[in-house]
Amino acid sequence: MLRIKHLFKSFSTFELITIALVSALGIAVKPVVVPLAHMITAPLLLPGGAVAGGLYMLWVVLGAGLIKRKGTATIIGIVQALIVIVTGVFGTHGVLSIITYTVPGIAVDLSNMLMSKRAYKTEGFFTAGIAANTAGTIAATLLFFRLPLIPLLLGLCTAALSGGMGGLLAGKIVKELSKYNIYN
């Protein structure tokens, strides 16, 4: 408990509010984005969740890009999981939502750590988006779908492309918001 308290003390109140808002926005867009993605991807036999993931994983990447602190994306994933579990807003994963929402956050934090000085540049956002959506797709596949190899690879390729595009969009939003010196 002391460790969690110490973790949150390293974030300002403004940063914690940003984490809460970005988490809530990520959950709020999911029920809108997923059915639209399925309408587009179903006739093409593409995995709809992997495509839609780029649009709702961008919130995890966006939050990490705005705050620029280690662990931010993981906290966003945990907050999203708790919102889903407590409210039952979206999905039927139940307690397993802790895994399916936290894993993409961990992937973003690891990506940012590996990218080091380039983490908050275009290529860093792109890589973080790929990491988030690919990790989320792997987690969901392992826990729920158990796809054969070829559909799994198709899903991962689709997730990587969609996630990368979501990461680029998050990077563009961070760049535009940086003009107002809100997060610096």
Beta strand ranges found along the chain (DSSP E): none
* Distance from C-alpha of 102 to C-alpha of 96, rounded to nearest angstrom: 10
| Residues 122-137, mean pLDDT to the nearest whole number | 96
- Work out the end-to-end distance of the chain between its first and last CA atoms, rounded to an integer number of angstroms: 30
Tell me: pLDDT of 8 over 60. Answer: yes
pLDDT at 6: 64
**Which of 56, 42, 117 lies closest to 84 in space, CA to CA?**
56
- pTM over 0.85? The answer is yes
| Residues 102-125, mean pLDDT to the nearest whole number | 97
Give the pLDDT band of residue 90 (cuts 50, 70, 90): low
Helix 97-115 and helix 72-87: axis angle, to 10°?
170
